[in-house]
Structure formats: structure tokens, C-alpha cells
């Protein structure tokens, strides 16, 4: 059963399997196949990129992303330091498991201080405690606070352009054309995009191309030449330079990185 996160307040539901950890991972990339519980990932330090069938989600300190039970996605850490809370849970309505989305979903790009305090309290007081009323009540508080602090208006305003880039990552399209999709001037679009995502539209597109490249290379079904052709690079040499510039390794050596 799928219920949007904002509509959850209209249902009687049951929480279970609540667990929280705080991590400072050493990995740079992670593939997650068929995630077992639902979860929120709350970034406290550093930046990362999640890719899935839904496209690319850029996360920075204060971002909260929902990772649904049973989903497949890839994480790529783009900064030296990276830290986060992970809050896992299961939720049922009428004894049926509930998802807020079938794919990773950005909940907010700026978690409130009150919500972060509730997350910290959950870690400090209930990390190793079985499900109790107090633990569930604290989780409900986190839900409520997240629901009133959802994705920024800028994200919604920019979504037509972001969706287009995600669906056509290899297509050459100008900033002016993207701005027109959002009913903004080129200057307004460029500033809003840079403020929201911390990079230019071109840099965002390049990151998405890299994410697609990684997926193809990791599948083991494509040669470097075939990946370059699939992504419409003018030559294998250019693709190799592009890939190494953005990842630090050549595509040939990527799998063993």
C-alpha cells in the first residue's frame, strides 16, 4: 500500500521495528538492493548523491531522504567527510505494509532544529530499547515535524527542469530552455538552481551522466566503448577523460576502485 507522507495523518497506523544509528561511513559508493525496512536518512555533514529509477537526488547537511522498503538505489559520497542518522521503521495500515513512495524521495532539504533534537533524543535514549510507547511517540513527533517542513518551494519551482535533465541526461539543452520550462528568466533560473543544488545546471547534468556511467560499468554487460556510445560521447577518449575528471579514476579501472 502506498500512502503519501503528507496524507499519513489521515490514517490509523501501527509502527514497529524502530531503530536508529549514527554513522561516519568510510565508503564512497554503496549499492543497496531490496532494502529491508523503510527509513529516513538525515545528513549532518558532507554531500552525497542518490540515484535510482527516479533519477538523481543531491543531498547536503539538513537534507532528509526517504528510502522505501524493498527499493534499489545507489549512494555516491562526493565529500571527504560524511555523517548521517539513519532511522529505520516499518509502518502498517490495516495490517498491510505501507510505503510513502516506491522510490527514494526527498522529504526536506532543511530539517528543523526541533526535529533534529527529536532524532538525537531517539538515539540517546532509545537506540537499544525495544519498541515502547515512548519510543513510538517520539517517532510520531519526528513524523509530524517532517510533515510541516517538506521540500522547499524552490525544489517545486525547479522540478520541470530537474525532471527533464534526469530523463534526458545526455541531451544538450541550454540553460535558457530549462528556464523556460520553469517560467523563469535565465538569470532567475540559474541563481535558484545554484542556491538549491549547490552547483550549476551543467554540473548537475554531468553528475547524472557519471551516475549512469557507473551503473552501466558496474553491470558488467558493457565495454567502455559501448558505454561511451550509449551516452553519446564523441569518442571513447573524451568519455574516459570526462569520467576520470569527475571520479578520479578511469572507467577501465572503476570496477576495481
Do the beta carbons of residue 58 and residue 49 sit within 8 Å?
Answer: yes
C-alpha cell at 71: 527499493
Ordered per-residue pLDDT tens for the chain, 257 residues: 888 887 888 888 999 889 999 999 888 888 888 888 899 999 999 999 888 876 778 889 999 999 998 888 888 998 889 999 999 999 999 989 989 888 888 888 889 899 999 999 999 988 877 768 888 899 999 999 988 776 556 677 788 898 888 888 878 889 999 999 988 889 888 888 887 777 888 888 888 888 888 888 888 888 899 999 888 888 999 999 999 988 888 888 886 55
pLDDT of 148 reads 78
Cα-flanking dihedrals φ and ψ of residue 218, to 5°? Answer: -70, -25
Reduce the secondary structure of 224-239 to three states and give it as a string. HHHHHHHCCCCCHHHH
CB 209 within 8 A of CB 170: yes
pLDDT attached to residue 42? 96
Query: Alpha carbon of 120 to those of 33, 77, 132, 254: distances in Å?
Result: 28, 23, 17, 37
Q: Do domains 5-147 and 153-254 have the same CATH topology?
A: no
Check if the beta carbon of residue 23 is closer than 8 Å to that of residue 83: yes
- Cα distance between residue 223 and residue 212, in whole Å: 14
Tell me the CATH architecture of domain 153-254: Orthogonal Bundle (1.10)
Residue with cell 548521517: 84
* pLDDT reported for residue 256: 58
Whole-number pLDDT of residue 54? 67
pTM: 0.62
Domain spans in the chain, listed from the N-terminal domain onward: 5-147, 153-254
Q: Half-sphere exposure (CA, 13 Å, Cβ side) for 33?
A: 0
Closest-CA residue to 42 (of 134, 110, 101): 110
Determine how β-strand 48-52 pairs with β-strand 29-32: unpaired
Q: What percent of the chain has pLDDT over 70?
A: 96
d(CA 173, CA 157): 18
What is 5-147's CATH superfamily?
Regulatory protein AraC (2.60.120.280)
Q: Per residue in 194-205, pLDDT tens?
A: 877 778 888 888
CB 56 within 8 A of CB 73: no
The SS3 assignment for 89 reads: strand
Amino acid at each position: 500500500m502506498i500512502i503519501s507522507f503528507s496524507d499519513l495523518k489521515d490514517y490509523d497506523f501501527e509502527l514497529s521495528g524502530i531503530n536508529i544509528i549514527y554513522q561516519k561511513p568510510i565508503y564512497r559508493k554503496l549499492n543497496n538492493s531490496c532494502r529491508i525496512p523503510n527509513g529516513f536518512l538525515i545528513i549532518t555533514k558532507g554531500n552525497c548523491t542518490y540515484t535510482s529509477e527516479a533519477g538523481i537526488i543531491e543531498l547536503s547537511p539538513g537534507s532528509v531522504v526517504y528510502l522505501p522498503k524493498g527499493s534499489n538505489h545507489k549512494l555516491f559520497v562526493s565529500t571527504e567527510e560524511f555523517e548521517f542518522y539513519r532511522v529505520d521503521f516499518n509502518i502498517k495500515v490495516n495490517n498491510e505494509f505501507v510505503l510513502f513512495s516506491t522510490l527514494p524521495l526527498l522529504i526536506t532539504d532543511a530539517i528543523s532544529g526541533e526535529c533534529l533534537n527529536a532524532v538525537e533524543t531517539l538515539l540517546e535514549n532509545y537506540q537499544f530499547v525495544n519498541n515502547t510507547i515512548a519510543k513510538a511517540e517520539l517517532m510520531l513527533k519526528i513524523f509530524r515535524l517532517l510533515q510541516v517542513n517538506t521540500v522547499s518551494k524552490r525544489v517545486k519551482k525547479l522540478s520541470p527542469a530537474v525532471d527533464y535533465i534526469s530523463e534526458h541526461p545526455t541531451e544538450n539543452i541550454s540553460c535558457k530552455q530549462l528556464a523556460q520550462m520553469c517560467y523563469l528568466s535565465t538569470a532567475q533560473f540559474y541563481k535558484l538552481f545554484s542556491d538549491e543544488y549547490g552547483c550549476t545546471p551543467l554540473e548537475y547534468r554531468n553528475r547524472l551522466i557519471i551516475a549512469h556511467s557507473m551503473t552501466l560499468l558496474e553491470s558488467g554487460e558493457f565495454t567502455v566503448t559501448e558505454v561511451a556510445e550509449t551516452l553519446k560521447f564523441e569518442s571513447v577518449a573524451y568519455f574516459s577523460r570526462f569520467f576520470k575528471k569527475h571520479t578520479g579514476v578511469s572507467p577501465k579501472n572503476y570496477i576495481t576502485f
